Amino acid sequence: MPSRSFPPNPSPNPNPHSILRTRVFFLAITVSASALILLALFFFLFYLWYSLVDRSRTSPFDSSAPLKLQRFSYRELKSATNVFNEANSIGRGGSGTVFRGILRDGKSVAVKKLDASSLQAEKEFQNELQILGGLRSPFVVSLLGFCIEKKKRFLVYEYMPNRSLQESLFGEGSGGLNFNWDRRFEIILDIARALAFLHLECDPPVIHGDIKPGNVLLGSDHRAKISDFGLSRIKTEGEFGIELCSQELWKSQELSGNLTAVPLETPTVATPLESTTEVDFALALQASSSSKNSKIDYNVKTFNLNSLNLNTNGINENDLKGIDAKGKGVSTMDFAGEDWNKFVPYDYELCSIDHSKELNFNASLPIDDLMASTKQWGKDWWWRQDGSGELCSKDYVMEWIGSQICPTNPDWEDEKKNSPEKTNLGNLTQIDKIEDEKKGSNFEELGSVCPKKIEKKETRGGKNCKKKHRKMQEWWKEEHLAEISKKGSKLRKLEAKWKKGFKIPHFDMGRRFRIRKRSTFGEENQNDCDPNVEFSFRKGLKKKNKLSAGSDMWSGDLFSRELSSTTSMRGTVCYVAPEYGGCGYLMEKADIYSLGVLILVIVSGRRPLHVLSSPMKLEKANLISWCRHLAQAGNVLELVDERLKDGFNKDQARLCINLALMCLQKMPELRPDIGEIVKILKGEMDLPALPFEFSPSPPSKLFSRSRRRPKSDAE
């Protein structure tokens, strides 16, 4: 029988070779899969990094731009400016002196020599390099380069032969007369285009933060470019300061019972306000015509110099000694939480507190008490500044008048003799005359000399002084404070609570700011935090006066020019938006507010705050509130510069003024954005309807609050 063959049994012990092969196979798959995953991950991370870097390369952080800045040698700048010869000095700002220079290749440049050992200067230097250094636009002054020589810092700009708008409008031998309407309109459009570039074309957007005539420079063709990015900042992603800010305003309005029905979601395009309850028009006027003088200084983005590619730039790192490694050395603020009681929360109501109390008080006081009360007023200044950042331009005028009401003031007496009209009035401010006669005088002197003279006068004619003082106060009350003197008990309670340390919830997460007056580099005087220390803007003036001799020393704009350069100041008084400082966020709409003021200044040829020689004219002291009154009266064209006579385009002028009013709205959301502004100016878009408070026929109830003289009296 044939034997049955069976298939061979599989070996009970697997072939070790095949096992090895299988293992190697799986290992290879695992390794290659891991490698692939790692590669993919690496690629993803690289892509992420690249896209981030690439994004940061977009304007204004074009990484190549700062590198394009030329590093000048000190020697080169010395020879260009003839060793910084005074004769070549073309201007003086808050942080340094500007010289005209001619480079070896014959090119004209403006060389800004920043004040050594000044934090303000250091901050400006960093900001200009970081922000302006990366910007290229026909509407922005170009930064050509810089120079670092030990502690000295220089910035080199393209030269603008027609200097600043400030000088063109208000400077000695001002070209104001030759500044025709078309040129003014073009300048307004250029400034709007410049802001459009900053807000809309730059990614991330740049907020200038200090739009004013001094920062608008004119080229040989009188086309305008904006300059001075010392206070500017880059808007970082996810910022929503405006909404928060408005919420704060909303809250404060609710608190004071002055409700205006503007939902927080209100679209950016301005719409007429509807009133649900009675609108406190006087308060609105007061608050919106107020100026900001914030001492808060944490918001300005400072540039970390370490982030500069020092090697590429050839900057010696040793040159940068003295700068905080994190770029924070330039910050003047100390967010001290321990001194909360010293700080007051932000509220517009501060500005609307009845000043007549102080006035009445002063009027009935003997002279020495008068001085004491002035001191008291000074304290007020402190707490108004501190935290709230809110100062009213009327307050400035008030304080100024306070210092002027001194019968021994020779200018005042002289002027009285010279002018029968003024003699009758007996108590007029004479800035116009002083402007001519007192150039170079120190504003502080008036404040300090006057009280000394008062002492003498007390024996000679204290009665006289009191009488004049009272007259002045009565007049002032009648003319300017009547509308704000009728505050309800709510407001007074609020004021009382306020002084006791009552705090309104603040959106800035409880941060309060310790304000330090800066003296020299790295040196701060903590005593200045004492709220009992009298803060007067005169201090800033005195400090500044030593350095600068402005033709507008005695003008209304003296406030803005001088204060702008006061240490730890943000923005320029009269130009700075009401929300700036108190809320802490500087947003695009703050620039829009400043643009609104600037438009009015250009159209009217007046400074935003300008005390003139007669009380009738004093009604026009505050350009913004005067403009609002004209709008209510339906006569905005009265604001147009008299020097233009009839040589202006009425439609354009009306458009500009109404547009400015839109920009000057208290609520940032209600202000148009810069894209709309450019379109409106170009005639590509209609101006939205003006809010009802600017319309020619507001409810009669609102008018009843003001005892203002009829327009015919105005001149």
Ligand X SMILES: Nc1ncnc2c1ncn2[C@@H]1O[C@H](COP(=O)(O)OP(=O)(O)OP(=O)(O)O)[C@@H](O)[C@H]1O
Residue 164 makes contact with ligand X by CB under 6 A: yes
Q: Which residue has the tokens 């719409």?
A: 271
Residue 157 makes contact with ligand X by CB under 6 A: yes
d(CA 621, CA 681): 27
CB of 369 closer than 8 Å to CB of 384: no
Nearer to ligand X, 409 or 564 (CB): 564
Q: Site size for ligand X, by CB under 6 A?
A: 26
Read off φ and ψ for residue 172, nearest 5 degrees: -60, 140
d(CA 93, CA 214): 9
Query: Left if phi > 0, otherwise alpha if psi is -120 to 50, otherwise beta: which for 523?
Result: beta
Residue 95 makes contact with ligand X by CB under 6 A: yes
Q: Report the site for ligand X in 111-130 (rule: CB under 6 A).
A: 112
DSSP assignment, residue 307? G
Scanning 88-96, 260-268, 404-412, 669-677 for contacts with ligand X by CB under 6 A, the matching segment is 88-96
Scanning 143-151, 155-163, 373-381, 409-417 for contacts with ligand X by CB under 6 A, the matching segment is 155-163
d(CA 707, CA 679): 38
Structure tokens belonging to residue 638: 């009265």
Q: Report the site for ligand X in 292-351 (rule: CB under 6 A).
A: none
CA trace torsion 74, 77, 78, 79 (10° rounding):
130
Residue 281 makes contact with ligand X by CB under 6 A: no
Binding mask 217-256 for ligand X (x = CB under 6 A): x---------xx----------------------------
Ranges of H-type helices in 57-118: 64-68, 74-80
Closest among 480, 432, 425, 479 to 613, alpha carbons compared = 432
Q: Which of 77, 80, 98, 353 binds ligand X (CB under 6 A)?
A: 98
Scanning 51-59, 158-166, 465-473, 695-703 for contacts with ligand X by CB under 6 A, the matching segment is 158-166
Q: Which residue has the tokens 């001290």?
A: 336
Residue 141 makes contact with ligand X by CB under 6 A: yes
Residue 167 makes contact with ligand X by CB under 6 A: yes
Nearer to ligand X, 227 or 536 (CB): 227
Nearer to ligand X, 280 or 591 (CB): 591
CB of 561 to ligand X, least distance (A): 7
CB of 174 to ligand X, least distance (A): 13
CB of 113 to ligand X, least distance (A): 10
Q: Which residues contact 86 (CB under 8 A, 6 or more apart)?
A: none
Residue 137 makes contact with ligand X by CB under 6 A: no
Scanning 60-68, 89-97, 411-419, 681-689 for contacts with ligand X by CB under 6 A, the matching segment is 89-97
Closest among 705, 706, 698 to 272, alpha carbons compared = 698
What is the greatest pairwise CA distance in the chain?
A: 158
CB of 153 to ligand X, least distance (A): 13
CB of 302 to ligand X, least distance (A): 17
Q: Which residue has the tokens 């004040």?
A: 115
As a 3-state breakdown, the chain gives helix, strand, coil percent values, each rounded to 5, of 50, 10, 40
CB of 115 to ligand X, least distance (A): 10
d(CA 248, CA 254): 10
CB of 121 to ligand X, least distance (A): 10
CB of 196 to ligand X, least distance (A): 21
Q: Which of 77, 129, 140, 160 binds ligand X (CB under 6 A)?
A: 160
Residue 659 makes contact with ligand X by CB under 6 A: no
CB of 134 to ligand X, least distance (A): 18
Scanning 85-93, 200-208, 351-359, 679-687 for contacts with ligand X by CB under 6 A, the matching segment is 85-93
d(CA 418, CA 420): 7
Binding mask 629-648 for ligand X (x = CB under 6 A): --------------------
Structure tokens belonging to residue 81: 């400016």
Scanning 28-36, 45-53, 157-165, 691-699 for contacts with ligand X by CB under 6 A, the matching segment is 157-165
| Helix axes 443-476 and 537-545, enclosed angle (nearest 10) | 140
Nearer to ligand X, 110 or 330 (CB): 110
Scanning 163-171, 332-340, 467-475, 624-632 for contacts with ligand X by CB under 6 A, the matching segment is 163-171
Structure tokens belonging to residue 133: 């250094």
Nearer to ligand X, 127 or 404 (CB): 127
Closest among 538, 528, 354, 381 to 451, alpha carbons compared = 538
SS3 89: strand
| Beta bridge mates, 89 | 99
| Helix axes 443-476 and 367-385, enclosed angle (nearest 10) | 100
Confirm or deny that 497 is annotated as ligand binding.
no
Q: Which of 130, 555, 565, 632 binds ligand X (CB under 6 A)?
A: 565
CB of 551 to ligand X, least distance (A): 11
Print burial letters for 259-282: b (CB count within 10 Å at least 16), e (below 16).
Answer: bbebeeeeeeebeebebeeebbbb
Scanning 10-18, 162-170, 233-241, 251-259 for contacts with ligand X by CB under 6 A, the matching segment is 162-170
Q: Report the site for ligand X in 364-423 (rule: CB under 6 A).
A: none
Q: Which residues contact 545 (CB under 8 A, 6 or more apart)?
A: 440, 442, 443, 444, 553, 562
Nearer to ligand X, 232 or 565 (CB): 565
In the annotation, is 210 catalytic? yes
Residue 93 makes contact with ligand X by CB under 6 A: yes
Nearer to ligand X, 130 or 227 (CB): 227
In DSSP notation, 584-603 reads: ----HHHHHHHHHHHHHHHH
Q: Which of 78, 113, 163, 480 binds ligand X (CB under 6 A)?
A: 163
Chain-centroid distance of CA 603 in Å reads 20
Q: Which of 159, 185, 348, 507 binds ligand X (CB under 6 A)?
A: 159
Structure tokens belonging to residue 310: 């020092």
Structure tokens belonging to residue 251: 């809250």
Nearer to ligand X, 138 or 501 (CB): 138
Residue 214 makes contact with ligand X by CB under 6 A: yes
Nearer to ligand X, 118 or 632 (CB): 118
Read off φ and ψ for residue 145, nearest 5 degrees: -175, -170
Half-sphere exposure of 97 (CA within 13 A, CB side): 18
d(CA 409, CA 406): 5
Q: Which of 232, 404, 564, 622 binds ligand X (CB under 6 A)?
A: 564
The catalytic residue among 115, 210, 380, 528 is: 210
Catalytic residues, by residue number, are 210
Binding site members: 113
Binding site members for ATP: 113
By the criterion CB under 6 A, which residues form the site for ligand X? 90-96, 98, 110, 112, 141, 157, 159-160, 163-164, 166-167, 210, 214-215, 217, 227-228, 564-565
